[in-house]
Each structure stands twice: as C-alpha cells, then as structure tokens.
Amino acid sequence: MPKTVGVAVSNATFHFDKLYTYAVMPDQQNAVKLGSMVLVPFGRGSRARMGVVLACDAEPESAKLKYLFDVAPASACLTPELLRLVHFLKERTFCTYYEAVKAVIPYGAQYKPAVAADGVTPVLQKQLTRHTENSYRLVGGLPPKPKPTAKQLAAVALLGGGPRTLNELEDKGISRAVLDNLCTKGVLECSKVNKSIDLYSSIPLKNEPITLTQEQQAAYDALLPKLEDDAPHSALLYGVTGSGKTLVFLKLIARCLEQGRRALVMVPEISLTPQMILRLKSQFGRRVAVQHSALNHTERLLQWQMIQDDGADIVVGTRSAIFSPLENIGLIIIDEEQEHTYRSESAPRYSAHEVARQRAAENGALLLLASATPSTESFYAAQHGRTQLVRLTQRYGGNPLPTVQIVDMRAELAAGNPREISLALEDAIRRNLDAGKQTILLLNRRGYQTMAQCEDCREVLKCTKCSVPMVYHKAAHKVLCHYCGSQMEPPTVCPACGGKLQYRGFGTQKAEEELAKLFPDARVLRMDQDSTAAKDAHEKLLARFANHEYDIMVGTQMVAKGLDFEDVTLVGVLGIDSLLFAQGFRAYENVFSLITQVVGRSGRARDPGFAIIQTTDPDNPVLNLAAAQDYDAFFEQEIAYRKLGLYPPFCGLCVIGFAGAKEIEVARAAARFAALLGQQAAKQPDLPLRVLGPTPGSIEKINDTYRYKLTIKCRNDRRFRDLVRSTLERYEQEKLPSKATVAVDLHSDGD
C-alpha cells in the first residue's frame, strides 16, 4: 500500500518528462499499484491530467506533496509485462512515458478526466463506448398499400428467419432508413442487443486436419524444438510465394496451444487480417482476437478486453497488436516481415520486430519471421547464425514459379503503340480472358492523370502546401494532393506563366478506363485507396473477385501482397520505374520485394502462372533479378552494396527529423542540433559515429511544414542512445526562438 507514487503525466514534453511524485490518500492506498491509471493535479493551477503510476513509494521531491485526484479500477491497470514495455519504448525510441503508455493501451481502454457530481472534484470516468446495437425482428405483415418496395420485401424475407442486427442487415444491402420505416409501419420492432464480442462469428469451424508436404514437414520439424523449450529463440522462414508458409504457421500454432501457451500473429496490413482470421478461426475456433486500427473504438476495446480477460489464445493484428495484453506467449509470427509498415512513423517510433524480440525474450517464446523476400538485415542475421534459417523452396502442388517476361516500353513506343498497355500484355490478357482465367495488374499510382505540366515553362503543377505534384481524379473532376488532401478545380493554364497545362501520367482510374476500352466484355475491378475507402469495402471487393464476379483486378500495392486466388494465372506490372529511382537505402529491396510478391500471385493452384513487367529500363539488374524471382542472387548484390555504402546491417541508422512552419528556422534548428551533438560526441571520441547533413527532407514541405533531417550512421547501443538523449535534453533546454519540432527515428543494425 504505497503512500507516495511516481507518475508519468500526459502531455509532458520530452524535456519535462520524468516521474512526478504524488501523495496517496489513505482511502486510495488499496487501489493504487504499479500500472494504475490515475488523475493528478499538475502545474500552476493544478489542472487535472491523466497519468500512470510507474513507481511506488517514490522519494518525495518536496515537503508539500499534492494528492492524487482519483484512481481507476484495477481492470484498467497495465500488466507487469506491458509496464516493462513502457520503459523499453522510452529507452529505445526517445518518446515520453505517456506516449509509450498510449501505444500499449488502445484508446477506449483508458479512462478520461471528468468532473464529479458535485461539479468541482476532478474524477476519472470510463470512456463511453457503445456496447449495444440495434436488432430488428418481425412483428407484423407488410400492409398491402402502398405497394412494398423490393428492399422492404427483402428485409421482411430475411427477418422471417429470426431477428438480425443492423450490421448484418446492412451487409445484405438493407439500409437503416428502410428498417426504421418498417418499424413506424409496425412491421418490425427494434431493440438493443449487446454487441457480439466475436467479430467474425459467421466463420464456420472446419478444423480440417492439416497434412504438410515433405518440405513443409521438414521446416516444421526444424522449428519444433525451438517452440517446445522455454528459452527465447528466433527463426526466419524463407519460403517462395505459394510454398504454404501459412500451413506451417497453423501447425506450429496448434502445437503451441497444445502446450497451453498463446500465439501472436502479425500481418503487415489491415487488408490482410480477414484472410488470416478466416484461416485461424476455421482451424481453431472462437478464441481468436483481432487488433488493428480500422476497428472502431468499441470493437477495439472489446477485443482488447477479451485478450486481457484471458478469452483469447490467438491474437491477429497489424503493428500495434504487438502490445496485446496476451500472457504466456509461446509463439510470435511476423508474416511478410520485410514490410515497412512494421515500423511506426509517429511517437513512439518503434519497430514491431524489436518489441517482438523483447516479448519473446520475456516469455521464452519463438519469434518466427516469415517472407518470400526477407529484409536484407534479417537474411544476413540468419546467414550468420544469429537466427535460425528454414527454407521452403517449392510451391505447394508442384507448380513452378511463374514465367516472367520483361517488356521494353521504349521499343513499344518506337513501334507505334502509344498506349500504357503493351501489345504483349494486351494479348496475354485477351488469352487469359478467353480461357476464363483472372488477371491482376499492379499500378502503384492512384488517380487518373498523375501530373500536369506547363507546355511553355515546363513547371509542374504542385500543391500550394506541399512540394509534390497534384494528381487529377476524374470521377470528382478535381486535382488532389495525396499528401495533405487539398483539392481544387483542375486549372487549364500554368499558375506560373499562364502557358497551357498538359495533363499526363497514368493512374489506376485511367488504367481502368483503358482496360474497359480494350476489353469491353471484361469485368474490371479497381483496388486503391479511393475505391476501398468505405468500411469493409476492401474485404467485400476481394470476396467478389474470388467469386469470379470480376476478370481483371487493377490496383496499387494492395493487390501485391498475400492474396491467394486459384484462378489468377496472369500478372502485369505497370509503371514500376519511378520506384527504382526512389530515395533511401531500401529502395532496391522494396522494388524487388514488391515485384516478387505480385508476380507470386500468379499460378498458385492448378495452372502455371505467367507475368509481364513493363519498364523503360529493361536492363536494370534489380528488375531482372525480380523477374527471375532469384532472391539469393538479389541478396548477394544488395549486401555488397550495403557494405560498400555502410548501411544496415553494417551500421545502425538514426534519422533526426526537424519540422516547422518557417524554413529558415527549421534549417537553423537542425544546424544547432548538429552542433550540440558534435559537442557531446567530442567527449567520447571512441564512439563510432558519422553524421550526414543537415539536409532538406526528401519531400521538403508537407502541409505547410518544412522538413530537415540529420542522418547518423552509428551503432545502436546504450551509449549511442544516451548520447542522443542528452543532446535532445540540451536542445530542448535551449529555448531557441524557432518552433521546430524534433523526431528521432532509430533503425537498429540488427533488424
């Protein structure tokens, strides 16, 4: 029963982020413990602020301690492991305590400040969440007049089978307006029911026995001892596309559950969760929980509580799911482990890999990374024995990897085809259509025309707030900025010189239109951020594609990953060239991975697959290695380049970003930080360090905010992190006139 506590307070800036000591009233002493959420008076005026108890019986820093306002019930308390993760994040990512707290408990699991009934006392109040939803049931027949609409008839027919929730009815295309109207007519009755905690309740349990192929069995056997003992281990499952990595996961999870332990399965994108859930639920039943950011607050909270209350054996989710309050973890799987989405781009700037490694260590679990194109760092670690390497070299069912043809688009133009779809691709699509097969086309740019350029001064039409080109969207007849969302009527003349603007470039909307012209009978599905904005749209569209309601799917990188459709036998890659020249040391790795992934969607079942890559740079070595799907050769080339240029895994990389409204001040802030860092580093001449910059960000301005960065090649160890931390503290103390904000993003050398 602590008399004083050390509290991490919300909204503390980095410089003032420490544990503040508070006194605990006698009647609160039973409730307070490490990890409790509390409400505290803070600063002048003693305004109420949220906090979390991170120390008990803390040393009072002054004689006059303030008392806690209120303490949340124990159910809102952080588990000991999550508490340790808060400290881990603070140490590794330079965030504040409370930023770390917010990462480990989702919004909604938290309490918020409120005022008690007396109108004065600050208290904690549970965030209101809607735990109920509307349910409709049939109570009368449809009146004969006026004539019932088709939707009304459909609603009545559906409800003839028993009551249904609004959500279920909306899924069948019946709107709330139709239902409410039937209620006023006395046909239906509406009541509130508790929301089902089971988000995917309609998935039938199949529990078919899994029979692994010989190669899959060998992989499983190699991993099993690491799963079965209590020590932490890590392994990399490197398996070509379609080799059945998921089946190996399922077997390992089954074994993990048999041992009475839990499993955490990470996927890189929300769009890939439904498929994974489908497989896990049909195999293992109901005790599967989901965590990702597209769930609404109530769903997210219900799922979180289900995990906390020991109601889940398996958790599936995207990056933040790594913080699930799952206990006794035996297995953590990170699928498509090379994906950049596993790194957080806002505070705390963590990578799911490093948190996973930490949790595996705490739980004595097996951390299994899986990919057809592992990140260079992960493969290097496996090659050097720091991680166990397990391979799957063959596709399930014995199909070879797809045959890939590279088409030179310059030659295409010279031969008189001005279109963005080459004759070879056109021909292949036509043959595929005739054979009743499906086609996936990757075009990594959404919109209609991707830029507008002046015919006279060659100036490109840019966003007024961002240094990026505006993109024309035909349906809305607007030009849009994909960074800040600004939009305007498409201008016809150049804002700089008044010359004529020419709209060019090929986005997914235009591709959809071209395909409709070339293949008038084909059913074309466009998949991009615009076409999948509605809730569940993504899932529904994919289900319809699987159901053969479409022949061709054209889309951005969301069509490249994880999809498993048996009748897709052709893949086309359009306009990948810009990515080949992208900045950043991972550019080649990303292109290689993207192409290999999308090509790997072809020919996964009975029929062999084929793919065409269109490019203006047909001799490009990365493209050619991707076409050959030769990861090993790509890795050899890439690792040599990393070594020569001194990039991870041969060093750690720390990027310190500066942002602010005035360019000159941002530049000055960056320079000042660099100088302070230099002073601090001079005290430790043996610390390996190479500072590059400051330089303007690769996109100089986003949403009227200028960006500069400092790139440091370093060794990511405690000494280096202490150096950055002390520099940050000094920088924050200095109170420069500029308002630039600082963000530190540290890539370790190990992952």
Interaction site with Zn ion (CB under 5 A): 463, 465-466, 481, 483-484, 486
How far apart (Å, rounded) are the C-alpha atoms in residues 194 and 287?
A: 19
**Of residues 433 and 594, the one with the C-beta less far from ligand ADP:** 594
**Chosen residue from 4, 96, 213, 716 binding ligand ADP by CB under 6 A:** 213
| Interface stretch with ligand ADP, choices 207-215, 324-332, 483-491, 724-732 (CB under 6 A) | 207-215
Angle between the N-to-C axes of helices 631-645 and 376-383, in degrees from 0 to 180, rounded to the nearest 10: 100
- Is the CB of residue 594 less than 8 Å from the CB of residue 371? no
* DSSP-H helix ranges across 628-741: 631-645, 663-682, 718-733
The arrangement of strands across the sheet holding 132-138 comes to 164-165, 132-138, 188-194
DSSP for 532-551, written as a single string: T-STTHHHHHHHHHHTTS-S
211 sits near ligand ADP (criterion: CB under 6 A): yes
CA-to-CA dists, residue 480 to 407, 446, 451, 499, 529, angstroms: 31, 11, 10, 21, 13
Q: Which of 298, 259, 253 minimizes the C-alpha distance to 280?
A: 253
How far apart (Å, rounded) are the C-alpha atoms in residues 24 and 215?
A: 61
Two tokens, residue 407: 């088409």
Q: How far is the CB of 739 from Zn ion (least distance, A)?
A: 20
Binding to ligand ADP (CB under 6 A): which residues in 564-603?
564
* Residue 497 assigned as binding residue: yes
Rg of the chain (C-alpha set): 28
Q: Which of 558, 592, 579, 564 minimizes the C-alpha distance to 374?
A: 592
- Is the CB of residue 377 less than 8 Å from the CB of residue 652? no
246 binds, among ligand ADP, Zn ion, none (CB under 5 to 8 A by kind): ligand ADP
**Chosen residue from 396, 545, 658, 708 binding ligand ADP by CB under 6 A:** 396
Q: Which of 500, 442, 508, 445 minimizes the C-alpha distance to 474?
A: 508
CB closest to ligand ADP, residue no: 244
**Of residues 244 and 603, the one with the C-beta less far from ligand ADP:** 244
**Of residues 561 and 707, the one with the C-beta less far from ligand ADP:** 561
Q: How far is the CB of 241 from ligand ADP (least distance, A)?
A: 5
**Of residues 540 and 662, the one with the C-beta less far from Zn ion:** 662
212 binds, among ligand ADP, Zn ion, none (CB under 5 to 8 A by kind): ligand ADP
Rounded (to 5) percent helix, strand, coil in the chain: 35, 25, 40
**Of residues 211 and 583, the one with the C-beta less far from ligand ADP:** 211
Q: How far is the CB of 539 from ligand ADP (least distance, A)?
A: 17
274 binds, among ligand ADP, Zn ion, none (CB under 5 to 8 A by kind): none
245 binds, among Zn ion, ligand ADP, none (CB under 5 to 8 A by kind): ligand ADP
- Is the CB of residue 302 less than 8 Å from the CB of residue 312? no
**Of residues 53 and 277, the one with the C-beta less far from ligand ADP:** 277
> If DSSP codes are grouped into helix, strand and coil, which group holds residue 58?
coil
* Residue 454 assigned as binding residue: yes
| Interface stretch with ligand ADP, choices 102-110, 244-252, 286-294, 346-354 (CB under 6 A) | 244-252
**Of residues 212 and 484, the one with the C-beta less far from Zn ion:** 484
Q: How far is the CB of 750 from ligand ADP (least distance, A)?
A: 25
**Of residues 198 and 564, the one with the C-beta less far from ligand ADP:** 564
**Of residues 623 and 666, the one with the C-beta less far from Zn ion:** 666
Q: How far is the CB of 629 from ligand ADP (least distance, A)?
A: 12
> If DSSP codes are grouped into helix, strand and coil, which group holds residue 82?
helix
**Chosen residue from 101, 247, 494, 627 binding ligand ADP by CB under 6 A:** 247
Two tokens, residue 657: 């970003």
243 sits near ligand ADP (criterion: CB under 6 A): yes
Two tokens, residue 194: 């508790």
481 binds, among Zn ion, ligand ADP, none (CB under 5 to 8 A by kind): Zn ion
Report the DSSP beta bridge partners of residue 690: 713
484 binds, among ligand ADP, Zn ion, none (CB under 5 to 8 A by kind): Zn ion
* Residue 494 assigned as binding residue: yes
- Is the CB of residue 372 less than 8 Å from the CB of residue 631? yes
* Residue 484 assigned as binding residue: yes
CA dihedral of 16, 17, 21, 26, whole degrees rounded to 10: 130
- Length reported for the chain: 751
Q: How far is the CB of 218 from ligand ADP (least distance, A)?
A: 12
How far apart (Å, rounded) are the C-alpha atoms in residues 76 and 136?
A: 34
**Chosen residue from 319, 604, 672, 701 binding ligand ADP by CB under 6 A:** 604
How many Cβ atoms sit within 10 Å of the Cβ of residue 495?
12
463 binds, among Zn ion, ligand ADP, none (CB under 5 to 8 A by kind): Zn ion
Two tokens, residue 741: 């904000």
| Interface stretch with ligand ADP, choices 69-77, 97-105, 125-133, 209-217 (CB under 6 A) | 209-217
246 sits near ligand ADP (criterion: CB under 6 A): yes
> If DSSP codes are grouped into helix, strand and coil, which group holds residue 111?
strand
Angle at 661 between CA 658 and CA 667, to 5 degrees: 45
244 sits near ligand ADP (criterion: CB under 6 A): yes
Q: How many residues bind ligand ADP (CB under 6 A)?
A: 15
* Residue 481 assigned as binding residue: yes
Q: From the annotation, which residues make up the binding site?
A: 454, 457, 463, 466, 481, 484, 494, 497
Q: From the annotation, which residues make up the binding site for Zn(2+)?
A: 454, 457, 463, 466, 481, 484, 494, 497
Contact footprint for ligand ADP (CB under 6 A) = 211-213, 216, 239, 241-247, 396, 564, 604
